[in-house]
Structure 1
Amino acid sequence: MNGYDDTDLLRAASAGIRAPSLHNSQPWQFRLHGDAIEILADPSRQLQVADSAGWALRLACGAATYNARLALAVSGRPADVLLAPDPSRPDLIARLTPGRERPPTYTETDLFAAVARRHSHRLPFWPDPVPADVRVRLIEAARSEHAWLDLLVGMTALTGFSEIAHSADRVLRRDLHYQAEMITWAEADTASGGVPSRAAAPVTEHQDLLPQRAFTDRQRATGRDYEPEPLVAILGVATDRRLDQIIAGQALQKVLLTATDAGLSTSMISQPIEVPAARDQLRRSLGRSGYPQLALRIGYGQQAGRPTPPPRPVGGSGAGRRMPTVLTAVPPR
């Protein structure tokens, strides 16, 4: 079949840029290279304090890769995917080459429809429990992308996670460089990315089970406490190489889109992953030999949140030319 062209590149990038990223940093680029579409990490968008090792950057680029795969699949031009194809190019996350043409599956169509609807919901969820069959779908979504998803059940498990998460959050809050970097990504109502105050969670209160990022000093409305027993999920992979983090990003995005397709809202909790001691404690608490990559808060809430300003606009085309990324207004991480 013919190779991918500018139309395919635009289609893949337009979906890819709707992936989540730490502080909505959008650390990706897309380009045509020969007949392939390449997803590259953008080191200029890497968080130098919060993500000095590049874990969050690779997770975000993996999620963008999954969205790009979906976009190509629903167009009838699915991709064969090579992750981290060139050891000498750590910035090269994935290379997508044309596979056998076929109609999209029902699952691909449904998940692609969820791409534009997915956003992080940082406000309190409603008390409705997540049904058992939907929980199974979320677990299977991670497994199908070579990751695992552990759902924390019962207050003993939730309280243990809460202690780990709050401890990690306190460590990060004491780091003045970390806080200064986060402030630079707050109130970013421009095309540069970041999390505007209207999309941020209100200030954490002493009774809250889970910590929230301090992107705003807004207080919550009276009577709007966070849910006392949320569904918390831990996403992980078997090992912790650069490749594994890209794999985890793809699995993360499939889980998020599966949740969105099921009418659920989500937000992400990364503090326990950002602090090595907390991450190790979390891994041991799960009884897992693998490595946690992110925690998710899942429940029912208003999905039609206000869009953020558009990230970086897509521009340029042609083989070998890098594309800055973003077409339309999309929700922040």
Structure 2
Amino acid sequence: MGKISKADKKIAYDHKLCQFLDDYTQVLVAAADNVGSNQLQNIRQGLRGDSVILMGKNTMMKRSIRMHSEKTGNKAYLNLIPLLVGNVGLIFTKGDLKEVREEVAKYKVGAPARVGLVAPVDVVVPSGNTGLDPSQTSFFQVLNIPTKINKGTVEIITPVELIKKGDKVGSSEAALLAKLNIRPFSYGLVVQSIYENGSVFSPDVLDLTDDDLIEKFALGVSMVTSLALAVHYPTIAAAPHMLINGYKNVLAVSVETEYSFPLADNVKAYLADPSKFAVAAPVAGGGDDAPAAAAPVEETKDEPAEESDDEPLFSLFD
């Protein structure tokens, strides 16, 4: 069998990508910086069943997507093109998006700090014994790391932030971390965007819970209600508030005039003589006769009964 030409490889790749676009409606766009071939193979095996990973050059993927969109008339595929920036791959899946993202995140591999790499996280050298002999003290002195000699080995006195997130790793930092056998970075496929049936959204959406959705929905209803009340436009959300406000206005007119209606009669009676409603408050443990039972207590509160030294205490309750 002869060697496959580059043109044949491109045709095969184009056919594969177009076939995936037809078969799958969900695509995860993942960054693949510093991901090795063995690591990528492990991820493929973990996703085997309902997901496939397709890597390739961005220009080739964009061309195939654009041509397939024109061929099928499906313009939704074009939403993938702006997402193909940098070293990225496409994960086509029919499974649950959140579960697929979590499965991909399992395959992160620790990596040493190589010279020139941009640190994805802060790197802190912990305090404690390093196990290095005193001749290695110069590495720590160059990086201004406080040390002392303890039992013939170098000991770091306090933790030191060696590299900040976003900074490039220098030769001294890389050499020191290698001597301390510290692998501060971890790399794997990182989902950056999600495409689903023509819609593109951030993977942070997958972390939303039912409570978050209810809270956002309630906030939206509150804003719609406030707007409707402000412009006096009736909506289902604003109707109860409008009815209550209307009742308050009519009640205010009724209180100030001779006009009355059943719902205003009790309010007028209370305003005319509040004392009639004084016994209306419920008494704990009381029934229909609770107000009557409470009256003697009111009368005897100011005049406590005199106790006799000759009578037993229980006679007070006879």
TM interval, shorter chain, is under 0.3
Name whichever structure is richer in helix by fraction: 2
Higher relative contact order (CA 8 A, sep 6+): 1
Q: Which has the larger radius of gyration?
A: 2
TM-score, normalization by structure 2: 0.24
